[in-house]
Amino acid sequence: MTTVRREAFGRMPPEEGGGEVEKFVLQSDSVRVEILSYGCIIATLETKDRDGQFSDVVLGFDTLEGYTRKHPFFGAVVGRVANRIANGRFSLDGKEYQLFLNNGPNSLHGGAKGFDKVLWSPQVLPSGVRFFRLSPDGEEGYPGDLKVWVTYTLSGRELAINYQAQSSKTTPISLTNHAYFNLAGQGSRDVYDHEISIAADSYLPVDDTKIPTGEVAAVQGTGFDLRQPVELGKHLQEFHLDGFDHNFCLHQGQDRRLVARVFHPPTGRTMEVHTTQPGLQFYTGNNLDGSLKGKGAATYPRHSAFCLETQNWPDAVNRPHFPNVLLHPGEEYNHTTWLVFSTA
């Protein structure tokens, strides 16, 4: 049985239109999640350890001000296109589009004001909440009026996130949630003692601006082979890796499949990621530097969280051999990701 509660969380600054931001609290016996109408942000996600103790396992802020200031997309839905587009450029039907460059020479997570920085219209459901917005033609340089629905549903130990969209013109689209997890509890120092596995036989090597080179490389015999569980800290040391910020290429298909599993031995917390998406960006919080004051005055140093962002492959709009990222008029974009929490 899931209960859903809505309450005020704050008001947008006057220069941002001053709209009211609401918080939606979804609660089952084993999971409690708080989601904001600003950016569809997962602000809190509490789950039990093996002794039945709840802890909040996502990074974020106590107040709206934290989220309206610059931060690394904590808990937010990012779009129109998650991840990076090289030089912020792509061509469609003979026309070139130029996006805002907000990540060195590239466009990242939708540009200057992506889906993470806007108010969405909420609708309470029996066991969740659905958010809607219309992204107008030309917003952040993207073509077409894009209608977008993001639905969060909590059922027992499972949080489902469904993304649907329709466009009036052909447009690239790739939506994901950018939650930062630490199964020891947010504010814990690092994620080195987490054990992770990712069901991917290949990954995308990147250049020094984090854009895929175009090669689809086998993980076999590399530090990217996470098909069997590895202890993260030891693994990074063994392969002399600074961290991960890479797309793992998942088995293609529209069906739900288990793509990643994270286990935290000290607490027994386990998180599984299931999805219909073709890619999974594994990111180990390499750019966190301890400068942000998070929930409960916690600081978030480097490697103090991980992200498992289910999405299309980065820069797919410029790579014909990557999975199709284009949504045409009359079609529907529809993907779901399920996060399943348990203890071992």
Binding annotation for beta-D-galactose:
83-84, 178-180, 245
Quick check: 97 and 89 in contact, CB under 8 A? Answer: yes
For residue 27, CA distances in Å to 33, 146, 249 come to 6, 31, 33
What φ, ψ does residue 79 adopt, rounded to 5°? 180, 175
For residue 19, give the DSSP letter.
P
- Answer yes or no: 309 catalytic: yes
In sequence order, what are the beta bridge partners of 98?
Answer: 89
| 325 SS3 class | coil
User: Considering 109, 139, 178, 335, which one is annotated as catalytic?
Assistant: 178
159 Cβ contact partners less than 8 Å away, ≥ 6 residues apart = 26, 31, 33, 45, 152, 153, 338, 339, 340, 341
- Answer yes or no: 46 catalytic: no
Q: Which residue has the tokens 């990111």?
A: 283
Would you state the torsion angle of the CA atoms of residues 97, 103, 105, 106, taken in this order, to the nearest 10 degrees? -40
Q: Is the dihedral of CA 286, 237, 230, 184 positive or negative?
A: negative
Q: Which residue has the tokens 């969380």?
A: 9
- Between strands 279-283 and 307-311, the pairing is antiparallel
Listing DSSP states for 133-171 in one string gives EEE-TTGGG--S-EEEEEEEEEETTEEEEEEEEEESS-E
**Residues with catalytic function:** 178, 309
